[in-house]
Structure 1
C-alpha cells in the first residue's frame, strides 16, 4: 500500500522537521524510506514485534544489540483501514524521541490516506477514459455490451440512461502560436460538464469526448456547449463542439459518437459561422459527405457547369444554399443573408439565365440546392 517514493518523501520531510532520523518500513519490516538513505532496503528487525503486537515499542541501546538493522529509538505501527501496513521508526534516545511518536504517526497516516485517495481518483479517471474511448470505438472492436455496461456500473454510471456524445476539438481554423492539447480541453470541459453523470475522456491529442445526460431537467445541452466555447475563448483557446444523436445503451452511444464525429467533420463547411454543430442540423451534409469524389464532380459539372465559371460563383452558391435552407422562401433567405429581397431575386434570376432554365421547374431547385451543398463540402 505504501510505495517507496511516498515513503522516502515522508521520511525526508519528517527527518528535516524533528532533526531525528525517521525510517518507514512495509508490513514485512523492510525499510522503504529513510532520512539515512543507506538504510533503504534493509531488514528492520524491531518492526517485526511492533507489526505483530500492533503497539509502539521503545528500544534502548541494550535492547537493539541483537536486533538486525535497528538503532535505539521508538518504533510505531502504521495502521490503515484497521490493518498494520508497516512501521515508522524514530532514531535517538527513547525518552527524547518518544514525545514525537504520536504526532509523527498521525501525520504519516494522514499522508498515506491522502495518497491513497489521489491514487483512487486517478485510477477512476483512467478507467472512465478507457471506458468512454471503447464506447466511441465499439463498432470496430465489438466488445460485448454487457461487459461495458458492467464497467460503467462499477464506476457509478448507468449507460442505459439517455445521453448524447459531445466531441470538443481545437479549432485549427484559428491556429495561433499556442499549441493546445487534450489536457487543456479537458480542463475546460470539466468546468462546464460537472455532473456526476458526465463521462469525460480524451480521444486524441486535440479531441475530447463527453457523454452527457440528455435530460430535459438539465440546462439545454446547446447552452452548456456555448458556455464551454465562451470559457475556452476567454482563455485563448478557440474550440468547436459537435453534438451527436440521442442515445441509450452502448450501440446507440457509439452511433451518437460517430454522428458527433460527422458533425465535427462537415460542420465548418455547412455552418462556417458557428462553433457548435448539431448532427440534427447537418444530416444532409452527413449523407452527402460519403458520395465519392468523382460522382460529386460529375453531378456538379453536369448540373451547374456554366455557373462554376462565373466570377460570382461563391456568392451565388451561398445564396442558393441559404435559399434551400430556408425552404426556398425568398424573404427568409434574404434575412439570413442580410441582403435586400430584390438582391436575392436578382441573384436567383441570374442563376436561371446562366443555366438557361427556370428554377421553378419541378425538382430543379432541390437538385441545385443539393449540388451546391456537395460543392461546398469540397
Structure 2
C-alpha cells in the first residue's frame, strides 16, 4: 500500500522515540520500508512473508548475517487487509507486550494518512470543478458536459440555487514579503500551510450541507459557492455575513495578522449560472474596495453596480471628452471639497435639505459650492442632464487617479 510506504519511516521514528526499542516496518512483499536503523531499509525480511501469508504474529530469531533480528513481527491491517508487517526488535517475551499497542497506533496513523489523502484529493477535484464553473461559457458544449459530469461525481445538486461569495485577503503576499525582513513572527512564516489552514476554517464557517462548494482562487482569494435550498436561505446568509466575517478575521488576525473582506454576487438559479454570480461578486468587490475601502462586506446590487461601472464602460475617447469638461474644476484649489459636495448632493437625490442633514453641511454652504461648480465648469447643477455629465466626469477622474493605467 503506497500510503504505508510514504509514512513508514516517519511512524518508525516517532514510535521508537517513545518505546525505546528498535522498530521496523515491511511492505506486503517483505521489503523493509521503515527502520530505526536506516541501513536496513530495502532489505528483504523473510519472516514477514510468513506473517502476511498466515495473518499471525510470530517470533523472529537472529539469523542470516543479522538480516533477521530477534523480536516479534505482527501483521498491519487496513480495511481488514494485511498491508505490511510491524517488527519490534528485542527479546520476544519482553517486547511482545508492546506489539498490540504499537500495531494499533500504526494502523490508526495509516487510517489518518488515508483520510488526509482523500481530503486533499477531493479538494483538488473541487478546485478544478470551481475553475470550470467560473469560466463556463454557454457556447462550449464539451465544457458543459464536463461540468455536469464533475458535479455528479462530487455529489453536487445541479439545479439548486447558489450565490458566489469572494473572501479577499488584500495584498497578503506583499505584506508577508515586507514583514519577513522586519518582524520575527514572519521570518519563518509557514506560507505553504496558509492556504490549507484558511480553507479548512472557511469550510467550518460555511459548510452547512453537501452542496456548499468551498475552494481557493489564489493565495489571497477564496471562493464560497453557497447553496440556497430554502426560500429564506439568501436572507439568512446575508444577515449572517457580519458574524461569519468577524470569526474569519479573528482567526486570520490571531494566526497570520491579516484580515479579509467579503463580496457577494447575485443568486444563480442553476449550476451553469454560477459564472455570472462570480463575475458580479468580483465587480462588487472591486467597486466596493475602491469606493468604500473601510467597508468589509459588499453585496451585489445590479442597478448600483451598473451605475458605478458606467465610467469605466465608456470609450477612452468619450472619457477624455468628459474630463475636458471638468478640467477647470480639476485644476481648482478646492477641487476635493467641491467634488465631494456635489457627489454627496447627488447621492441624496439632489435634495438640498436631505444632503445638508446627512452631510452635516449648512444648506447655504452646499448652495454656494454648487454655484461655484457651475461658475467654473459652465454646467448647471440644477439641470439633470448637466448633473449626469458632471457626476460621470468626476467618477472618471477619480477612477483614473486610483488606477493610472486605466
TM-score scaled by length of structure 1: 0.84
Per the TM alignment, residue 194 of structure 1 is displaced from its structure 2 partner at its CA by 4.2
The separation in 2 between residues aligned to 1:274 and 1:15, in whole angstroms, is 54
Secondary structure class of the residue paired with 2:268: coil
Which secondary structure state, in structure 2, belongs to the residue aligned with residue 23 of structure 1? strand
Q: Give the 3-state SS of the residue equivalent to 2:159 in structure 1.
A: coil
Please list, as runs of the form range in 1=range in 2, the aligned pairs for 1:166-245 lying within 5 A after superposition: 166-172=165-171, 178=179, 183=195, 186=199, 189-190=202-203, 192-196=205-209, 197-214=211-228, 216-217=232-233, 219-221=236-238, 223-225=240-242, 227-228=244-245, 231-232=248-249, 235=254, 236-245=257-266
Distance in 1 of aligned mates of 2:175 and 2:369: 35
Question: What does residue 58 of structure 1 align with?
Answer: 59
RMSD between superposed Cα atoms in Å: 3.4
Asked if the contact 1:27–1:87 (Cα under 8 Å) also holds between the matched residues in 2, the reply is yes
Partner of 1:340: 362
Cα distance 1:27–1:175, how it changes in 2: closer, same or farther (>3 A)?
closer
Shift in Å, 1:128? 2.4
After superposition, the C-alpha distances for 1:255-308 in whole angstroms (9 at most, x for unaligned) are 222222222222233334423333314222224323233421212313x34333
- Residue 229 of structure 1 and its aligned partner are, at CA, apart by 5.7
Work out which of the residue numbers 357, 360, 367 in structure 1 matches 2:389. 367
Distance 1:222 1:312 in 2: 41
Which of 277-286 and 77-86 deviates more?
277-286
Between the aligned partners of 2:395 and 2:76, the Cα distance in structure 1 is 69
> How many residues are matched?
374
Whether the 8 Å CA contact 1:229–1:275 is kept in 2: the answer is no
Aligned with 1:220: secondary structure? helix
Aligned to 1:111: 109
Inter-partner Cα distance in structure 1 for 2:149 and 2:316:
43
Q: Which residue of 1 aligns with 2:15?
A: 14
Corresponding residue for residue 309 of structure 2? 286
SS in 2 for 1:144: helix
**What corresponds to 1:277 in structure 2?**
298
Q: Aligned in 2, Cα 1:231/1:113: closer, same or farther, shift over 3 Å? A: closer
In the TM superposition, what whole-angstrom CA distance separates every residue of 1:145-191 from its partner, at most 9, and x where no partner exists? 33224333433433532222222223459969547976376466456
Quote the Cα distance in structure 2 between the aligned partners of 1:141 and 1:59.
Answer: 67
Deviation at 1:243, TM superposition (A): 1.9
If each structure's helix is expressed as a fraction of its own residues, which one has the higher value?
A: 2
In the alignment, what sits opposite 1:128? 126
- Seen in structure 2, the aligned counterparts of structure 1 residues 12 and 356 have a Cα distance that, compared at 3 Å, is closer
Partner in structure 2 of residue 247 of structure 1: 268
